[in-house]
Amino acid sequence: MPNVIAFRPRSATESLRRPRILIRAAREGQSGWRRDRDLRRLLRLDHTPAPGAALPRLRAEEALQNDARLQRAADYDMHRHVLLMIAILAEMRAAVADAPVPVRAGARIGAAMLAQVGLAISAPGTASPAHP
């Protein structure tokens, strides 16, 4: 028997557990979000990446901000944290809307339907439990 414990890797789609006020601020900021302008500025990029491609970087930077928040670090930037959360929510919606729709016999699901599903997933009180 090997002496190695295998852990399942954390999913990139695993829900974020953040303070309600932070999520509320991020949702309110969705109306003013302009992907081409704001994503490039936030990540300091020359070109806007494909929808969903920036999610790993956004989540990594948001995790750093969240750690600083939890540690009450002096360099914690609440404004950047909210902007990162706005970007994560917007990129998740953009990735769902841009995803190719699998065609099954007798089933037609459009991008609008997928976007509604993405909105329902991010609605308050619908956090999914972590999978073991």
φ, ψ at 118 (rounded to 5°): -60, -40
Q: Decide if pLDDT at 74 tops 90.
A: yes
The reported pLDDT for the residue numbered 26 is 93
Tell me the two tokens of residue 100: 């190719």
Q: Read out DSSP for 46-87?
A: SSPPPTTTTHHHHHHHHHHHHHHHHTT-TT--HHHHHHHHHH
Q: Decide if pLDDT at 131 tops 80.
A: no
Higher pLDDT, 90 or 123: 90
Span 39-70, pLDDT tens digits = 999 999 899 999 888 999 999 999 999 999 99
Question: Locate tokens 């006020």: which residue?
Answer: 21
Percent of the chain with pLDDT over 90: 48
Tell me the two tokens of residue 68: 């600083």
List % helix, strand, coil for the chain (3-state, nearest 5): 55, 0, 45
Q: Contact 66/18 with Cβ under 8 angstroms?
A: yes
